[in-house]
Amino acid sequence: MIRNRISLVCILTLLVQQMAFAQQASGDFMRSIGRIYVVVAVILIIFFGIVLFLIYLDRKLTKLENQIKENE
């Protein structure tokens, strides 16, 4: 579990760094091709939001599964 959390933090830090780097490298990236990447960013945020909720439900279910195992 701890290892999972560390890797999640690592991935998130990398992602944020990447985004910061992309902004520095070309502030115009998000404005290129008619600002289509703004739409891409919005869709990605929704996707990650739903995935985070999925992780929350997953952990809840894992707890329930373990409880059932204990009861047996």
Partner 1 sequence: MIRQSWWKILAVVLLVYTFTAGMLVPLKPGIADVSPRALQAGTDVEMTITGYNSYYTKAKSDLRAWLKLKGDVVLKATSIEVVDDRTLKLVFKLPAYLPSDSKDDVCSLILDSPVDGAIVLPEGIALTQDSVNLAEGSKLWSVDKMDQLNAGPELTFPYRSVLYETIRNQYFHVPLWFAMLFLFIFSVGFSIRYLRKFDPDADQRALALTRAGFIFGLLGLVTGAIWAKFAWGAYWSWDVKQNMTAVALLIYAAYFILRGAFQDEEKKARLAAVYNIFAFAALIPLIFVIPRLTDSLHPGNGGNPAFGSDDLDNTMRMVFYPAGIGWTLLGFWIAAVSYRIDKLQNKLLDA
Least distance (Å) between residue 56 CB and partner 1: 9
Q: Which of 22, 19, 68, 28 is nearest to 48 (CA)?
A: 19
1 vs 28, beta carbon nearer partner 1? 28
Least distance (Å) between residue 5 CB and partner 1: 21
Q: Say how far apart CA 38 and CA 30 lie, in whole Å.
A: 6
7 vs 65, beta carbon nearer partner 1? 65
Binding to partner 1, residues 10-49 (CB under 8 A): 30-31, 33-36, 38-39, 41-43, 45-46, 49
Q: Say how far apart CA 53 and CA 72 lie, in whole Å.
A: 29
20: how many CB neighbours lie within 10 A of its CB? 10
Place of tokens 């329930």: 64
25 vs 68, beta carbon nearer partner 1? 68
